[in-house]
Copies of this chain bind each other. A is one copy, B any other.
Amino acid sequence: MSLIVQKYGGTSVGSTDRIKYVAKRVMHWRGLGHQVVVVVSAMSGETNRLLGLAKELSAAPDPRELDVVAATGEQVTIGLLSIALMEMGVPARSYSGGQVRVLTDSAFTKARILDIDDAAMRRDLDAGNVVVVAGFQGVDAVGNVTTLGRGGSDTSAVALAAALGADECQIYTDVDGVYTTDPRIVPQARRLDTITFEEMLELASQGSKVLQIRAVEFAGKYRVKLRVLSSFEDPQSPGPGTLITYEEDDTMEQAIISGIAFNRDEARILVMGVEDRPGVAFAILGPIAAANIDVDMIVQNIGASGQTDLSFTVHRNEYRKAMDVLERERGRAFQCREIKGDDKIAKVSVVGIGMRSHTGLAARMFKALADEAINIQMISTSEIKIAVVIDEKYLELAVRELHKAFDLEKAPA
């Protein structure tokens, strides 16, 4: 008997029919003799509806109260799924984040999990119940409702799996695994049987929508065995999905490049002609961070004649805000010649653990783009990733050409 944590996202619980389908799937795994903890999101559209109501009342709703409103979405789903399970004769019991209790800090709308009490869940599991937990939410030390931020249900599931020492954490999505890239753009994209945590981390942070980055980090930290599966397959005969492995695992495919990730959600900002002195990056990016704007890529070239250019990317939704912050701070926190921005960009990344031991991959990437006359605006690299920023209109073309250039349609030998 294993202990399995399963997570179902908003689409998987988007209607009462879909919820029944989830209940059947849970029943299948329980029928195999496993203990099952199910983590669910709000029904699809529900979180947006709730946040929309709040936005009708205030352009900048109080974060504590926003969490009170948003957390109800998952609370509805846990009750409904428990009802569906019991209707099928499967004993079930729901838990809100506060009931578990999932203790978080007090950073409303983007709280971090500090601790999980597994006592009540364990009692229920030992009594033969399926335990149904609201994802995305917790409580702080004084009992305020908190949410983990959008997509946080993945993180909830992994954190629960870690706290319970689960044998596997299954993330059910609308795809049957992790692909070499988005099959809607490249029909030849191939499902990976396994992928390393490090690669998954890069793929997730680069915009592969399958898993939330924090969930992957969490899973890596606590060595939670994570599997991505489809919630649309026959509940009685699920496919293998994609298992996320640790680098040192023997099962690793050892592909050089695992996949092509991309992201259309960013905007690029260029601060030109700043003084090339220590502290200038902080002078520019400090106010951005203080305004709670997340920065992704940061590129700074060595400047000539005491001046340099700094460019970075932010989420497209925060582009305006970031530009306003810079205009306000210009002449105060820092001096510069010009500030320019572009929100019609896309980021494309080549990700692979084999990059560490293989050379010439960047050149191969740049050549593939050059062959299509796609201009590279920014380049940033990590140990297992090369990311470039290009004009948004070339995104699909770039992804297709890179997928071909790295032979990703073929399984590794």
Residues in chain A within 8 A of chain B (CB atoms): 16, 19-20, 50, 53-54, 56-58, 61-62, 64-69, 71-73, 75-76, 78-80, 82-84, 86-87, 92-94, 96, 98-99, 143-145
Contacts and interface: CB of A to CB of B under 8 A. Distances in A.
A57 B83 contact: yes
Nearest to A43: B53
A87 B65 CA distance: 12
A61 B76 contact: no
A68 B75 contact: yes
A53 B98 contact: no
B57 A84 contact: yes
Given A57-B19, A58-B83, A80-B57, A94 B75 contact: no
Given A58-B86, A69-B79, A72-B73, 5 more contacts: A57-B83, A65-B78, A65-B83, A65-B92, A75-B75
**7 nearest A-B pairs in the assembled complex, by CB-CB distance:** A69-B79, A68-B79, A72-B72, A16-B56, A58-B87, A65-B82, A65-B79
B83 A61 contact: yes
Contact of A68 (B54, B62, B73, B82): B82
A380 to B, nearest CB: 39
A15 to B, nearest CB: 9
19 contacts: A19-B57, A50-B76, A54-B80, A57-B80, A58-B86, A58-B87, A61-B87, A62-B86, A64-B93, A65-B82, A65-B86, A66-B83, A67-B79, A69-B79, A69-B80, A72-B72, A72-B73, A99-B144, A99-B145
B56 A82 contact: no
B54 A83 contact: yes
Nearest to A139: B99
A342 to B, nearest CB: 34
A76 B57 contact: no
Contacts of A67: 79
Given A84-B58, A87-B57, A94-B65, A75 B71 contact: yes
Contacts of A82: 62, 65, 68
Contacts of A76: 50, 53, 69, 72
A61 B19 CA distance: 14
A5 to B, nearest CB: 20
A96 B68 contact: yes
Contacts of A92: 65
A75 B79 CA distance: 15
A79 to B, nearest CB: 4
Contacts of A50: 76
B143 A99 contact: yes
